[in-house]
């Protein structure tokens, strides 16, 4: 199967902002892209007006995008399948496509999160739910990449990781354009943990900004948040160098500082006094860090990993701990050396 083949068959599952942006990126390269969307209104908007007014308004989409509400049709007989649904829906989605997917299909996950309960990453869920798909053909795409900026061709750089290097290289060549540069990695666990846990830290950064605590505080929080991600990664078998790269510090900086970050926005509103229930009621798109904070909190306790910032985010979100109290607790912890042993 050649990536230069004009008959390459590609499906994208998920018509939110990120799924639409990535599907459009591929469609702009000349391939017809089957895009599964949940909402009938979104299908009609893309089909008739070449715009996803619900999740990516104002962006003209390629005529090579073929939206559909028929999941089986989008998945069947594909060379490449990109999954871009919210992390808490990945298991349900994978179950629905399991009978349609081919063993030869290369699966690319672009969802960021850690599943509540099982504490599996998204590729872990896909491997469990897609027995017909070859495990070494499942990969993950991650890095500092806001959907809207990708959609308007802002130069963006990401990483694709797979246990099989040749799979990573094939995905790399499929996605690479003059404005979307793709590196490869053999560390899916590190890439996924970086992409998931940074959303929790971004909520904390938003809280800091909402409280008006200043740039010193935010810089310290990002740095110590990176330490927490690395600690968890080490016990989960990830390569620590991954967290110094695009899917680590790169994505962390973007999500903790960018105005387009939904997780930062949630944190900022909490810091300004709104409740989580109020904030979520106003949002149509998902802030992944809200659910992932539960997984990270429980996984850290299960594995004996010290993650104080992530713990305080969980307590603010779910135990109604006042943000100022959480900051005070972080600042008055026992004094210690900065660097971990490893």
DSSP state of 249: I
pLDDT digits (tens, 9 = 90+) for 222-244: 999 999 999 999 999 999 999 99
63 within 8 A of 266, measured Cβ to Cβ: no
Which residues are known to be catalytic?
Answer: 198
Distance CA 222, CA 256 (A): 7
The whole-model pTM stands at 0.96
pLDDT digits (tens, 9 = 90+) for 280-293: 999 888 889 999 99
pLDDT digits (tens, 9 = 90+) for 174-206: 999 999 999 999 999 999 999 999 999 999 999
Domains in the chain (CATH in brackets) are: 10-186 (3.40.50.720), 189-331 (1.10.1040.10)
Q: How confident is the model at residue 6 (pLDDT cuts 50, 70, 90)?
A: low
Q: How confident is the model at residue 14 (pLDDT cuts 50, 70, 90)?
A: very high
Enumerate residues 6+ apart whose C-beta is below 8 A from 148: 17, 21, 56, 59, 260
Q: Which residue has the higher pLDDT, 1 or 161?
A: 161
27, two tokens: 């469609």
């Amino acid at each position: 199967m050649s990536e230069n083949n004009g008959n390459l068959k590609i499906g994208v599952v998920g018509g939110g902002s990120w799924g639409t942006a990535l599907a459009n990126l591929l469609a702009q390269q000349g391939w017809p892209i089957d895009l599964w969307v949940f909402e009938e209104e979104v299908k009609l908007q893309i089909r008739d007006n070449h715009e996803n007014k619900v999740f990516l308004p104002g962006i003209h989409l390629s005529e090579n995008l073929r939206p559909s509400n028929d999941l089986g049709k989008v998945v069947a007989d594909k060379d490449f399948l990109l999954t871009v649904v919210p992390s808490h829906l990945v298991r349900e989605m994978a179950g629905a496509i399991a009978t349609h997917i081919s063993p030869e299909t290369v699966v690319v996950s672009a969802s960021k999160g850690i599943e509540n309960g099982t504490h599996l990453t998204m590729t872990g869920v896909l491997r469990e739910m897609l027995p017909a798909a070859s495990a070494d053909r499942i990969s993950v795409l991650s890095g500092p990449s806001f959907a809207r900026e990708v959609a308007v061709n802002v130069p963006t750089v990401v990483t694709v990781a797979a246990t099989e290097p040749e799979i990573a290289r094939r995905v790399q060549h499929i996605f690479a354009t003059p404005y979307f540069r793709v590196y490869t990695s053999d560390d899916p666990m590190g890439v996924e943990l970086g992409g998931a846990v940074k959303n929790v830290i971004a909520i904390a950064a938003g809280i800091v900004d909402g409280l008006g605590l200043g740039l010193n505080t935010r810089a310290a929080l990002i740095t110590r948040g990176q330490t927490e991600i690395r600690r968890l990664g080490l016990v989960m078998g990830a390569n620590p160098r991954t967290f110094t790269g695009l899917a680590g510090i790169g994505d962390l900086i973007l999500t903790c500082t960018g105005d387009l970050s939904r997780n930062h926005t949630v944190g900022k509103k909490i810091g300004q006094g709104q409740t989580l229930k109020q904030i979520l009621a106003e949002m149509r798109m998902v802030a992944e860090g809200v659910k992932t904070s539960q997984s990270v909190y429980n996984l850290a306790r299960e594995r004996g990993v010290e993650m104080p910032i992530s713990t305080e985010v969980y307590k603010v979100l779910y135990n109604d701990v006042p943000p100022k109290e959480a900051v005070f607790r972080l600042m008055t912890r026992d004094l210690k050396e900065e660097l971990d042993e490893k």
